Structure 1
């Protein structure tokens, strides 16, 4: 049986930084209120001429450079995004063209903030089946364009960015297992209900969220899904070297870590400076920890996401 292994990571954040201090001059909020409830201090916002595929391109190039591969090596591109450049072609196909990749498949995955977990699990299965040999998996978002910047309940939470990994076929396990879930009956608690029909936007084109309901569900399902992955692999939480959850809210992250008995020094958090970058949040955090030297060869890492749908999932891997 073939396995897949992450051999390179990359990320990209737009230049513009929007701090809590800037937001409190525009809407009725305060830095203290935002930090105490979310842990977020700032977020990056894409320039007017930056598209999701542009962010993905920068992160993808850095991941490929880190992995030591070229466009000729890539035979699969999976992009997780909720904010595609256009209805179609897919952002993955647009990225494929920008990278100069000439072979294989390219497609998008839409699972909102769980998107990267879904995309990584999908690419892993393609690699393990032998159908593909080297995949670029990207989470990229310009989520700021889905926000009503007058809604203080939601606009303070999100930011833009991209993260990417290159995975390659391996004889030794890199990704041990993935565990994906969804429950569409909770779709109303986190959604953008608008759509395009007959040349017009129908419905609300801005993010709607029941924050309390999302918080409660996220804490429950992430705990359950983490334990599912651990049990499946006969691993104890204490054996995890690193836990990298979706970067939405520091209180959610701390709640899960406490439930699993993980000390703060083994939890990677970037939410303070990035905000919630949806599908980009997990690969952004992963790349941060790889590049600053925290994650080392042979270590056991769990990735987790939870997002609209509602969707959630875990990936357990050996670095």
Structure 2
């Protein structure tokens, strides 16, 4: 399914947040599946017994609180059905008896079902609405219709559903019988669910949940009953489970075989310090060709996703959180996504930078793309951009994976290459996270899309460099190296952030970088140190709350730092150059300014650059779409024509 789409009301919607879609290709054992199910369903879901106790003790303060628990309970009760199987009511006489890919569950009656259902029915009208009585009552009607007619006990459900032969092996086994089945029973369409629209974000999310849950029981609720399999008649309808897709079928086959592949856990090595520290690169004294920043251009994502949008799209496995709480936790009010590809986003930034610098494709000596979210390996984005720009040849074009330290890594390589080619180097920092998040809430709260491009050319003879110092680092304890993962099989191959480890690596590197810069001299010989000569600090826009906390602990003042993360989110390698662009746009930088730009992040990488930023080199126009001829280039490069295939392969 699409990572996001705009519904008919112009609102951004994340389909994966309401349609559970586990990637079964990543599971080899029931234990692995169980761990994911417990994390996504059990950890947040109250049992029916818990809901009953909450009602008895008067713990629910609003209708919404009760309904949210009902919905979480129903997702939990359907955790295997909705993630593994297509459910098809089938006449008993037509159910195959010997196939190993057709399943009918053995059901256990829900313990004290009548008491629990009656308690919910009685409690709801006496609770106050949290926002809107009419809307909340309409959602309750859908939810209670499902909750009130649930038949099975959910605590000990198994993902391995019996085959028909296994069901029949004991005549006392119970399953669900539909006394009457209407093939035209009302189901909500995908479009209806996506187009759900409520004024209150939390109610919109709950309304979507209720429609998804309704579709899990496509039959008249009052017509369903648990009966012993021996009582089934040919014209009775039963609920038959079919594997949802080939990956689920393959997983069930692996489990039945009982021989999952064994993967040995890698031993955690002792962390050993380097024999001596790595000195910062003193560009002025270490290189002959001095670098000049000829242009900085930005390409922000075209789609705004606010914190309110996140709450409207609250997933079935999210604990309660408000838009204001997301802002307080991260410092982010919105993030930007791109409707296009990362290649298109990169090309937008590159073209803008070339135009602003007045540099033609024939002048570019190298193209470096810094990204950790490319979904392509061949050709690399850098070589793709080289072709899309009409460059016949470069000295080198390559992608560089250094995550949130991408700018410092990219600038270090650009300055080195500049010594050889003595002509402009195009550095593009680009990320597209929006299609790599799924329903992982910490990632959804933080990451955005964006690209920035810099033209690094040779400075005039005798002129000082615009890039004065560069430093890069990598590695540390494996817990920090693996603190941000993508793809992560445990989270459906979506990007995952382990917060405490990220904060530990960021704090470690920030102190180290500040100590480095304090020990370096002011290139102009005026201030006591390089740090004292810095006029503005533009850090990696990781998490504003976290970075300010770490910076304050390291002796910095928040007013020394510039952030644009409130409106852009965390764009990893692109975050610092996007912030430099926005600092000029916001008139925080109005004259040539010495900037300290520290970055740190995934893979336990880090680095910084000391830059002289002249606002004149920043391209403030940010076209939001490629021109028509660019789209033609994109199409021709990504979808080879049949004639091209014939030429290549005969």
TM-score by length of 1: 0.90
1:261 Cα shift?
A: 4.8
- How far off is 1:115 after superposition? 1.5
Q: State the match for 1:173 in structure 2.
A: 465
Once the two structures are superposed, the pairs formed by residues 148-187 of structure 1 within 5 Å of their partners are 148=438, 150-170=439-459, 171=461, 172-183=464-475, 185=478, 186-187=480-481
The farther-off stretch of 96-105 and 274-283 is: 96-105
The range that moved more, 220-229 or 154-163, is 220-229
Match among 166, 186, 208 for residue 496 of structure 2: 208
Alignment match, 1:30? 322
Using CA pairs below 8 Å that are at least 6 residues apart, which structure has the higher relative contact order? 1
Output the aligned Cα RMSD: 2.1
1:253 deviates by 2.7
Summarize deviations over 1:241-262 as a string: whole Å, max 9, x none: 1111100111233235435654
Map 1:291-302; keep pairs closer than 5 Å.
291-302=585-596
1:258-316: CA deviations, max 9, x gaps?
35654444422111011111111111011112344433554211111111111000111
Please say if 1:251 is aligned against 2:539.
no
Q: 1:270 to 1:53 in 2, by over 3 A?
A: same
Aligned residue for 1:74?
364
Please give the secondary structure, in 1, of the residue aligned with 2:434. Answer: helix
Structure (1 or 2) with the greater strand fraction: 1
Alignment of 1:15-26 (within 5 A): 15-26=302-313
Whether contact under 8 Å (2:382, 2:399) holds in the other structure is: yes
Q: Which residue of 2 aligns with 1:126?
A: 417
User: What secondary structure sits across from 1:72 in the alignment?
Assistant: helix
Indicate the SS of the match to 1:118.
helix
Aligned to 2:378: 88
User: 1:87/1:236 Cα in 2 relative to 1: closer, same or farther (>3 Å)?
Assistant: closer
Alpha-carbon shift at residue 51 of structure 1 (Å): 1.3
Which of 124, 131, 143 does residue 433 from structure 2 map onto?
143
CA contact (8 A) 1:85 1:91 kept: no
4+ aligned runs moved over 6 Å, structure 1:
none
Where structure 1 has 5 or more consecutive residues not aligned to the other structure, the ranges are 195-200
- The aligned runs of 1:3-22 (5 Å cut-off) are 3-22=290-309
Query: Equivalent residues in 2 for 1:97-112 (5 A)?
Result: 97-104=387-394, 105-112=396-403
Structure 1 SS opposite 2:372: coil
Superposition pairs of residues 282-297 of structure 1, within 5 angstroms: 282-297=576-591
Q: 1:252/1:67 Cα in 2 relative to 1: closer, same or farther (>3 Å)?
A: farther
Give distance in 2, aligned partners of 1:205 and 1:132. Answer: 42
Query: SS where residue 147 of structure 1 aligns?
Result: coil
Structure 1 residues 53-62 or 232-241, which shifts more? 232-241
Change beyond 3 A, Cα 1:226–1:6: farther
Give the Cα separation in 1 of the matches to 2:361 and 2:549: 41
Task: Tell me how far apart the structure 2 counterparts of residues 101 and 56 of structure 1 sit (CA, whole Å).
Answer: 15
Give distance in 2, aligned partners of 1:6 and 1:261. 30
In the TM superposition, what whole-angstrom CA distance separates every residue of 1:69-88 from its partner, at most 9, and x where no partner exists?
22222111110011224121
Query: CA 1:260/1:299 → structure 2, altered by over 3 Å: closer, same or farther?
Result: farther
Q: Does the 8 Å contact 1:143/1:278 carry over to 2?
A: no
Matched residue of 1:176: which SS?
A: strand
Mapped pair 1:316 → 2:607? no
Larger proportion of helix:
2
Instruction: Give TM-score scaled by structure 2 length.
Output: 0.45
Q: Match for residue 9 of structure 2?
A: none
The question of whether the paired residues in 1 share the 8 Å contact of 2:474 and 2:606 is answered with yes
Q: In the alignment, what sits opposite 1:54?
A: 344
